[in-house]
Structure formats: structure tokens, C-alpha cells
Amino acid sequence: MENILKLEKSKKVSITKIKIKEHHKAFLILIPFITLIIMFLLSPFLSTFISSFLNEYNEFSLENYEYIFKSRFIKQSIFNSLELSIVSTLLGLLISLQGAYSLNKLKNSSKKSVLLLINMLSNFSGIPLAFAFIILLGSNGVMTILLKNIGLIETFDVYSRAGLMLMYTYFQLPLGLLLLYPLFDRIDPQWQEMVNILGGGTFTFWKRVGIPVMLKEILGTMLIMFANAMGAYACTLALTNGAYNVMTIRITSYIAGEVSYEPGIASAMSIVLGGILLFVVVINEILLKKKRGKYER
């Protein structure tokens, strides 16, 4: 018996040693990844966070944050960014949901072609996208002249809020389609048949079954699209030449030295921008927990 117990103990010791070695190997493999995270995520964030509390004399204070929340111009940039992001996210989500549903109904050959096109369009952003909008919808753009001749529009200013909203919604679509398309594979056609047998229609099916099943992924997609819009810079600058007041352009103006060099204010605005995104993440998690609790009951 003693020999058997000793053998079992030695086996357990050897197994634990093997596990420890495996953990060490896994940690060694992760060292380059952890180094990159520290260099390109944590270090810039800490530097920005500390800089946001430094005034022009390099003294710790809340002057930068006080300036942000007292300045009407900066508050306008926050409001404009939120408006563009929220509206373009909601519009982009609705169009992407319909597009993903329709895409899921195509044949495999057609589906692959459309997905390839969407992948290409997802990389078409920034300055090239703004240039394309100017060519198509500018004052003498191809589409603008065509729509005027048909009589559908009288005037359209692509360099205004309406033009930006259109462009933001456009570049949300490929992202939304790629993220939402796989969700419809989770919907079993038999579920809709069961709902129809019980007397429910298509609307009842999506309200009671389809949307709740995909809700977590839909909210996650909304969050990604919102962050995508809040961080947009190149296309906004190229289309409006910095005339439209949004957070990303204001942050750049304070660190590029075009008007004044105020890195503390730029850092504080960056932290506020990050805080807005964090707030959206928290709200997203709260909504998900409430929905989970509702369906568990």
C-alpha cells in the first residue's frame, strides 16, 4: 500500500511539474505580445493621462478639464462627434442588418462575390473616401448634377453636416455587414416554422426569437461602429478641411500647433473621448445583463 501511495504521489508531482513547465512556455510565447501592449497601449495611455493633469507650467492641476467643460467651442465638438456617431451607428446598423439578412439568402457563389466586394470596401476609407464623395456629390459632382437634372434635389452641400452624416453612415456599412453576416447562420429555419405553427408571424418571430438570440452580438457591433465613428479623423478633415468642429480635429489642432500648442488640453480631450467610449461599454454590459436576467426568468 505504501508503495502504491508513493507512486501516486510521484505521479501527481510529475503532472504538476509538467503543467508548470507548460505555463512557463505559454508565458514565454506571450512575452512579445505583452511587450507590444506595454509599448503601444499602456505607455501612451499613461503618458496621455499624466499630461492631461499638467498645466502650461508642468504643475499638476485640473485646469485642462475645467477649460474643456467651460469652453463652448470644445463642448460643441463633443456634441457634434456624439451626434454624428450615434446617428450614423443607428442608420448603419439598420441597413447592415437588412443587408446581412439578404446576403445570407444568396447562393454560395454570389455570396462569396459580395463578401469579397464588402471586404474591399471596408478598406476604402479616409482621404480616398472623402475624395470619392467630393467627385460624386460635390458642387459639380456627377451624382449632384444628375439628381439636379432629374429634379430630385435642388441643392446639396456635401461639405456640411448632411454630407458628413452620409459619409459616416457609408463607411459604417462594410464593418456592420462583416460583423452581422455570420449571426444569421445561428437562426434555425425550424424556429420560424414553430412560431408560425403557434400562430405567430414574421414580426413575432424576430421580436421574440431572432433578435433576442442575436442581441449580444448586435449590441457589440453597435459599440464597435460607435467607436469607429468617434475616432474618424482623416475623412472628416479631408471633406471639410477642418471646418466642421469634431473632437478628433480639435485634439489635433491643439497638438499640431496650428492655432496654439496645448498638449495638456489635447490629452484631457483624449481622456474625455476614452471616457465616453468606456461609458458606452458599461451601458452595453448593463443592458446585456438586464436582457439575460429577463430571459432567464
Query: CA dist 39 to 29, 267, 277, Å?
Result: 17, 18, 22
DSSP conformational letter for 297 = -
Q: What pLDDT was estimated at residue 207?
A: 80
Q: What pLDDT was estimated at residue 190?
A: 82
Please give the distance of CA 153 from its chain centroid, rounded to a whole number: 32
pLDDT bucket at 22, cuts 50 / 70 / 90: low
Q: Where are the domains of the chain?
A: 1-51, 72-296
Judged on CB neighbours under 10 Å (0-12, 13-18, 19+), 191 is: middle
- Report the 10 Å Cβ neighbour count for 226: 24
In this structure, what C-alpha cell is assigned to residue 165?
452624416
User: Is the confidence at residue 134, as pLDDT, over 70?
Assistant: yes
| Residue of 249, 256, 252, 247 lying closest to 274 (CA atoms) | 247
Q: What pLDDT was estimated at residue 15?
A: 54
What would the pLDDT profile of 273-286 be if each residue is shown by its tens digit?
999 988 888 887 78
pLDDT bucket at 128, cuts 50 / 70 / 90: confident
Q: What pLDDT was estimated at residue 13?
A: 47
> Which of 76-90, 135-149, 229-243, 253-267 shows the lowest per-residue confidence on average (mean pLDDT)?
253-267
Fold classified for 72-296: MetI-like fold (1.10.3720)
Amino acid, res. 138: G
Question: Rounded CA gap, 178 and 115, in Å?
Answer: 8
- Report the 10 Å Cβ neighbour count for 9: 10
- Report the 10 Å Cβ neighbour count for 169: 21
Judged on CB neighbours under 10 Å (0-12, 13-18, 19+), 182 is: exposed
What would the pLDDT profile of 179-197 be if each residue is shown by its tens digit?
888 888 888 778 878 878 8
